[in-house]
């Protein structure tokens, strides 16, 4: 029973082991890792929004906290996750529909470069607020 | 091992022979494309356009006075919830679950998704009513 459970866990976690694997598995793992992070963020975000139901003092108190450097850094991390997952996901979708399959590695590199540029611009805007 | 030799997330078995998996993948793709637009609008409206990077309570109430904004925010909520839970489902299915367990996971995620969207609608209604 324990062995069966171990093998299922191993199988489920196989995607995260990118050691010695090509760019394809890195892209796949990156998409899943950012996806898991964004699901966790979604529910944290919804929990935080519950303060809006408690009225102005609760929400405005949170807004003051959210403008601190620590929270802005979390926003910058969130932006990176959104850009990587969004643009990598777009490539996955295009490839899934048979578009750009032959040039998928180039597409991955181009879209991740675009992510990096957009992330730098976004980071400057977030810290500049 | 899923998609070991491709950059695509689409499972190798995800073909016409497995229509259920195909439908899930298609929904994941459709909601994903929708999210590129909706999440961009959400991020721009809430973090880049809003003064100071985030709206205060009065600002949120004022923002939600526009019915088009409410439609877009609700659409965003439904799309992001569906996309997130379909992704979680795909990861959970990688554990090699039995057919019965897969069915239970799908039911549980449907329930979670319904609760999530219900909570979001309640919150939107509460804010607009109080405002």
- A63 contacts B55? CB cut-off 8 A: yes
- A12 contacts B94? CB cut-off 8 A: yes
Of the listed ranges A5-14, A112-121, B4-13, B25-34, the least confidently predicted one is: B4-13
- B6 contacts A39? CB cut-off 8 A: no
CB B125, CB B64: distance < 8 Å: no
Task: Place A2 in a pLDDT band, splitting at 50, 70 and 90.
Answer: low
- The count of other CB atoms within 10 Å of the CB of residue B21 is 16
Residue A32 contacts B where some CB pair is shorter than 8 Å: yes
Residue A19 has pLDDT above 90, yes or no: no
User: In whole angstroms, what is the distance from residue B2 CA to residue A28 CA?
Assistant: 9
H or E stretch at A47: helix A23-49
Task: Place B10 in a pLDDT band, splitting at 50, 70 and 90.
Answer: low
User: In whole angstroms, what is the distance from residue A100 CA to residue A94 CA?
Assistant: 7
pLDDT computed for residue B44 by the predictor: 86
pLDDT computed for residue A1 by the predictor: 57
- In this prediction, residues A47-74 reach a mean pLDDT of 92
What predicted TM-score, i.e. pTM, was given to this entire model?
Answer: 0.85
Q: What is the tens place of the pLDDT at every residue in B47-58? A: 778 877 789 999
Residue B96 contacts A where some CB pair is shorter than 8 Å: yes
- In this prediction, residues B75-97 reach a mean pLDDT of 94
Mutate to test the interface with B, among A3, A7, A8, A15 (most CBs of B within 10 A): A15
- In this prediction, residues A11-29 reach a mean pLDDT of 79
User: In whole angstroms, what is the distance from residue A100 CA to residue B61 CA?
Assistant: 44
Q: What is the tens place of the pLDDT at every residue in B109-131? A: 999 999 999 999 999 999 998 76
Q: What is the tens place of the pLDDT at every residue in A100-124? A: 889 989 999 999 999 999 999 999 9
């Amino acid at each position: 029973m324990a062995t069966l459970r171990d093998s299922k866990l191993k199988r489920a976690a196989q995607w995260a082991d990118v050691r010695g694997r090509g760019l394809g598995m890195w892209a796949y793992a990156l998409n899943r890792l950012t996806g898991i992070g964004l699901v966790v963020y979604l529910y944290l975000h919804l929990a935080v929004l519950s303060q809006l139901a408690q009225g102005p003092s609760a929400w405005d108190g949170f807004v003051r906290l959210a403008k601190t450097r620590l929270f802005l850094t979390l926003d910058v991390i969130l932006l990176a996750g959104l850009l990587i997952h969004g643009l990598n996901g777009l490539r996955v979708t295009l490839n899934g529909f048979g578009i750009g399959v032959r040039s998928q590695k180039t597409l991955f590199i181009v879209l991740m470069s675009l992510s990096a540029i957009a992330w730098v611009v976004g980071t400057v805007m977030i810290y500049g607020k | 091992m899923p998609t070991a030799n491709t950059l695509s997330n689409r499972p190798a078995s995800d073909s016409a022979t497995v229509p259920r998996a195909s439908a899930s993948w298609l929904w994941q793709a459709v909601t994903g494309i929708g999210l590129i637009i909706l999440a961009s609008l959400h991020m721009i409206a809430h973090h880049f356009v809003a003064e100071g990077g985030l709206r205060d309570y009065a600002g949120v109430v004022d923002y939600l006075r526009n019915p088009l904004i409410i439609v877009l925010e609700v659409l965003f909520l439904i799309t992001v919830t569906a996309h997130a839970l379909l992704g979680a489902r795909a990861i959970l299915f990688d554990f090699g679950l039995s057919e019965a367990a897969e069915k239970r996971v799908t039911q549980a995620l449907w329930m979670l998704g319904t609760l999530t969207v219900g909570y979001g609608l309640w919150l939107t209604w509460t804010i607009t009513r109080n405002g």
